Amino acid sequence: MSVTHATQSPGTHFVWDWNGTLKDDLDDLLGTMNSTLELIGEHPMDRDTYQALHYVPIPDFYARVLGRSLTDNEWAMAEEQFTRFLSQRPARLRTGARALLTHLRDSGYSQSLLSLLPHTKLLAETAESGVTHLFDRIDGRRAPGTTKAQALVTHLEAIGRPLDSRHEVLLIGDTRDDAVAAHAVGAHVVLVTGGLEKASSLHQGGAAVADGLDQAVALGLRLVHHGTRSTALTTKSGTRQPIPRPGPEIDRRGAGRRTR
């Protein structure tokens, strides 16, 4: 079951990524990866290597790390170890993430969450983090092999965003795969550093890049307002900008929107 709190009305809508974006889990995922590598008799990696080689889908990530594909047996072991290892780690949000999500919702913006984390695991982690109620819909991965682009199409259809309104959709993620997904449906995208991929790699994803969540929001709203999909825009942590509240130039959720 998906978590859906309300029916969307036209206006700027945020689609958030989870791992590496809202959830501060790079070190947990690095530890998980190294535990699976140890299990199959391979050497561990450091944080820089993880970020430099990170790739979706994950089997291809392993192939980049090892220089070969995992066998079916190794992949089954890796998935089992992944689940076991992460189940022992509490869900931690990036600093300020909950306050930012609350501020955006209180300011009149609609928000949803889309991740390739297994759906039941995603629901458990958002509940543990106390942010479930801040999203109008939450979708995790339900079928093996689903790409972020495929998942985003289904997600936007579920929240009632027809093709001609996707220019008002802003996806905030932390990987080049998030940029690929957004570009595939014609949505705006901002990638935030400090997640699963190196900042230098993010600049190759054809997306605007920011050094923090609040900067990503401010930069993204500028893109939506100006109808811009520039790949050259970057907001550094030293140039913090206020988050605009919805006004005539940035659509607000409809006054008649149902409460949950």
Average pLDDT over residues 247-253: 33
Kindly list the distances between the CA atom of residue 12 and the CA atoms of 82, 138, 141, 179, in Å, as whole numbers in the listed order: 36, 17, 24, 18
Per the model's pLDDT, the better-predicted residue between 37 and 260 turns out to be: 37
92-134, pLDDT tens digit by residue? Answer: 999 999 999 999 999 999 999 999 999 999 999 999 999 999 9
Which domains, and CATH codes, for the chain?
3-24+93-235 (3.40.50.1000), 26-86 (1.10.150)
Distance CA 187, CA 165 (A): 9
Distance CA 80, CA 86 (A): 10
At 209, is the pLDDT very low, low, confident or very high (cuts 50, 70, 90)? very high
Distance CA 78, CA 236 (A): 37
Please report how many Cα atoms fall inside a 13 Å half-sphere around the Cα of residue 77, on the Cβ side: 14
Whether the per-residue pLDDT at 5 is higher than 50: the answer is no
52-88, pLDDT tens digit by residue? Answer: 999 888 999 999 999 999 999 999 999 899 888 988 8
Of 56, 34, 241, give the one whose Cα is nearest residue 146: 56
pLDDT for the residue numbered 240:
37
**Phi, psi of 119, deg, nearest 5:** -55, -45
Residue 96 — left, alpha, or beta (φ > 0 → left; ψ -120 to 50 → alpha)? left
Whether the per-residue pLDDT at 7 is higher than 80: the answer is no
At 229, is the pLDDT very low, low, confident or very high (cuts 50, 70, 90)? low
Q: What is the mean pLDDT of the chain?
A: 85
Q: Which amino acid is at 142?
A: R
Whether the per-residue pLDDT at 187 is higher than 60: the answer is yes
For residue 161, give both structure tokens: 């965003």
139-182, pLDDT tens digit by residue? Answer: 999 988 889 999 999 999 999 987 777 789 999 999 999 999 99
